[in-house]
Amino acid sequence: MSQEKLNFIVVDDSKLDCFIAEKIIQNTGRCASVSTFQQANDALIYLRTMASNDIPTIIFVDIQMPVMNGFEFVESFETLPAERRSNFYIYMLSSSINENDIARVKGYSSVKQFLNKPLTSSTINHVLEQF
Amino acid sequence: MNGKDKIKVLYIDDEQNNLISFKAAFRFDYNIFVAINTTEAINHLKANPDISVILSDQKMPDKTGVEFFEEIRKEFPNPIRILITGYADIESVINAINRGHVYRYIKKPWSEDDIRSSIDQGYKFYVTTAMLAVKNEELQKAYNELDKFAYSATHDMRGPILSVLGIIDLAKHTDNLADVKEMMGMMENAMLKLDNYIQNLHDYYSIRRGEVEIADINFDDIVKDLSDIYEVTSKMNNVKFVKNVQQAETFRSDEVSIKIILNNLLSNAFKYQVKNNENKFVELDVNVAKGIANIVVKDNGIGIPENSINQIFNMFYRGNSEEVGSGFGLYNVKDALGKLNGKIDVVSSAEGTTFSIAIPNK
């Protein structure tokens, strides 16, 4: 099994949760780079302007954020040109146990999976098995 | 009982004499409106939406009483409808009930007691129905809020707990003591945030369910208390706190509500400052005159974006991505002001935000 290095992007309004995600990602040993954003809009600007990515990039995005929430982020992401969107894998995270939110995640083709918070080393290792 | 408190009754009959004798008989007990035809009757209903009982003659030249009731039922569903007729055949009774939804059926010639008891009972029915509608609306509002609350509570209360669990997971795999200490600091912040949320929640319920306790308000004392609370924040963050109280007259209101209002506005003013500004300030002005307390909370902080200024008083709305807000504060302010019949205005730009409040004396 190839142990390819990956890029990571974390979008979460909680500084603390960004920190946790960053540390856990670094601990996996699969991390080529990790960028964290507390505002979804900043992450979008980054995605629009970043140089093309030749290695897979995993995006962890929180659902409940003020100003631009996780769903709005994914909707904006889906309007990007197809070549910009390739090689990105989005995972949505939430602390809510709201069935509607979980069902809504399934409606987005660009979202791979819904994950419960907190992001732990075992959750992330499970995700990484697919890459 | 003066004219304003009397039950408003509308009587429709095509015979002028009947109108006159009706008015003569009942004008001391009720506030009587009379109409010689249905057009006039509808004008009365439009001008007086609080007419609660309508009595109509059945046999009129332009249309029957039942037809009239059927016609107005959509636009004026609330008034109680009573039909008066001299020809009481079973067919018209059935029609009256099924098509006109009449509450009572009175036979001509009517007796004063018949009319009186019909109006009084009809009015009772009217009040009960109206009250039920109001209660239903309140209940619906409470349900909506509860839904919103349940949704937000899972996020805002579980959020900090899950963060701490995440850090604990991380700390277990960390050997460096300095790193672990840093994590402890983060856990502390998460718990402070949760505590702040729960305190706001408590405020929310004291406004919602608590009774208003009207007492003499001494703004000097209140502002003194607030100065003590904000002294540390003011010094630590280098924010000048300017206070100005002018109260020459007695002012009566609910102290708990006023404290909640001022506390939330001040806490926001101190929180949303421009970090590198040399001359950070928060200004609190209280001026009590002519039975109104005018309060101004002003800061030169980051300001509120134009596109979110209309939403800041909504429950759980957070206009800023900093993770400090609970989305409760300004909602509580507005709720508390509602209890005191007060008003709030906000003006904001990149140079800062000013909240102006007016609270009437109780």
CA B301 to chain centre: 30
Read off the pLDDT band of B4 (50, 70, 90).
low
Residue B321 has what pLDDT? Answer: 59
Report chain A residues whose CB lies below 8 A from the CB of B169.
24, 118, 120-121
Mutation for A interface: B167, B323, B330, most A CBs within 10 A: B323
B38, burial (CB in 10 Å: exposed 0-12, middle 13-18, buried 19+): buried
Q: Is the peptide bond before B360 cis (omega within 30 degrees of 0)?
A: no
- Region B122-146: mean pLDDT is 89
CB-based contact A95 B167, cutoff 8 Å: no
Per-domain boundaries in chain A:
6-128
pLDDT at B185 over 60: yes
Residue B1 has what pLDDT? Answer: 44
Q: Cβ of B245: how many Cβ atoms within 10 Å?
A: 17
B154, B162, B327: residue with CB nearest A118: B162
Selected residues 186-245 of chain B with any CB under 8 Å from a CB in chain A: 186, 189-190
Pair of tokens at residue B134: 């109001």
Mutation for A interface: B152, B168, B169, B330, most A CBs within 10 A: B169
Among B248, B266, B269, B255, smallest CA distance to B222 is for B255
Q: What is the pLDDT of residues B47-61, one digit of tens each?
A: 999 999 999 998 888
Nearest chain A residue to B311 by CA distance is A67
- Region A82-97: mean pLDDT is 87
Domains, chain B, ordered by start: 8-110 (3.40.50.2300), 213-362 (3.30.565.10)
What gap in Å lies between CA B99 and CA B286, rounded to an integer? 61
Report chain A residues whose CB lies below 8 A from the CB of B166.
16-17, 20, 24, 117-120
Q: What is the pLDDT of residues B239-298, one digit of tens each?
A: 999 999 999 999 999 988 898 899 889 988 998 899 888 899 999 999 999 999 999 999
A84 versus A8: which is more confidently predicted? Answer: A8
Q: What is the pLDDT of residues B296-321, one digit of tens each?
A: 999 999 998 888 888 888 776 776 65
Min Cα–Cα distance to chain A from B148, Å: 11
Query: Residue A92, SS3?
Result: strand
Q: What is the pLDDT of residues B325-355, one digit of tens each?
A: 667 788 889 888 988 999 999 999 989 999 9
Residue B251 has what pLDDT? Answer: 95
Q: What is the pLDDT of residues B60-109, one digit of tens each?
A: 888 889 899 999 989 999 999 999 987 667 777 787 778 878 899 888 88
- Region B30-46: mean pLDDT is 95
CATH class entry, domain A6-128: alpha beta
What gap in Å lies between CA B292 and CA B58, rounded to an integer? 55
B162 versus A11: which is more confidently predicted? Answer: A11
CB-based contact B158 A96, cutoff 8 Å: yes
Q: What angle do CA B327, B329, B334 make, to 5 degrees?
A: 115
Read off the pLDDT band of B231 (50, 70, 90).
confident
User: Chains A, B: CB contacts under 8 A, how many?
Assistant: 70
B204 versus B8: which is more confidently predicted? Answer: B8
Q: What does DSSP say about strands A6-11 and A57-62: parallel, antiparallel, or unpaired?
A: parallel
